[in-house]
Structure 1
Amino acid sequence: MDDDTAGTARHTGQGHDVREFFASRAHDWDARFPDDGPAYEAGVAAMELRAGDRVLDAGCGTGRALPALRAAVGAGGAVLGADLTPEMLAAAVRAGRGRLASLVLADVHRLPLPDAALDAVFAAGLLSHLSEPGAGLAELARTVRPGGRLALFHPVGRAALAARKGRPLTPDDLRAEPNLRPLLARSGWDLVRYVDEDARYLAMAVRQGA
């Protein structure tokens, strides 16, 4: 689920709705967004990962962020891609991205990882597809060491995305800074950077407890 394309992907907030939505689109997902590569590279670069870091691409979809994540952490680092939809992971493998990371079929609300196992999490278009956003963010916090980073990313900003889909921005949008900051704080994160412009959306947070 590496792109927030429509609120319809979360009809009732249940995981099977997300899987169904993305399963039917996995075969041509990359072709729909052929120009997003540089935006993903810039989003990963903003995380300032180091060689040897352990990083999760949460809701990795077809794995468009995996090349940049692997390049950032090097051969000695660990890259994990987790997604709820088997068809999206299969598309990642067909694209050759399975060689860059360990791919796992998993729900972000229940990750098969021990506490503090990661240095960072990259999540593209994830927040809108979480059935329980607070619980999902708290689960990501559980898996990241104190001081580790979370990047909530999208290759276009909220206004541009809403215009693309012909729907208005609403005050209850979780990605808006006034809503996101307290949500992250309750979930174990401190928001340290917020960018919402036509060319990208990036909310960077640090794991509390450092």
Structure 2
Amino acid sequence: MSKPLIGVTTYLDRARWGVWDMRAALLPAPYPRLVQESGGIAVMLPPDAPEAAAAVVARLDGVVIAGGADVEPVRYGAEPDSRTGPPARERDGWELALIDAALSAGTPLLGICRGMQLLNVALGGTLVQHLDGHVEAVGVIGRHAVKPVPGSRYASLVPELAEVPTYHHQAVDRLGAGLAASAHAEDGTVEAVELAAPAWALGVQWHPEMGEDLRVMRGLVEAAEAASSTVGRA
């Protein structure tokens, strides 16, 4: 059986390497490492025309919406807070289209940090534009405890209170349609969201790629493997 093909979205930003200084599609190396160590094949999904999303998802067994810039508040009907970062409109449009395509096709979907927030927004939810205590320092990954909601998909993957790598200043406010909170921080912040079965759609507010715990990504990869077997792509 071939390994499932997992698409991971990318940044689109200016970067420098060697003699070059230009706009680039970027993906921190821990993302593909996590996919690979969890049993999948990672492919990068740089921003594209939203109308291409369904055709892209049709070629994949699973989708990861990676972390990154704050979601533009207009996407959830809010005015920008002074502490909200500059928008990444190309990513917002592309990734919202990927989420819609994955949910429509029943393709397993994992949102990480920004990706969880975007999943919530895609389903009509809203965000808290700033909260304190979830960033240790600028450019420094912190850690805090996350408690699973019993009976949730997340709890089936990680049943215990777990310390997770964290770096975010925004969070879920009103949950999107069909989403349920499946983990919380000690201060009550929603740390994971999911759709009910049979859909496999999970969002986590932390950064599993910055740790060694494979269980969340392995859950996506195993769901992608099962789905590809069902449609005869294995």
Query: TM-score by structure 1 length?
Result: 0.37
Higher share of residues assigned helix: 1
Query: TM-score by structure 2 length?
Result: 0.34
Which structure's CA Rg is the greater one?
2
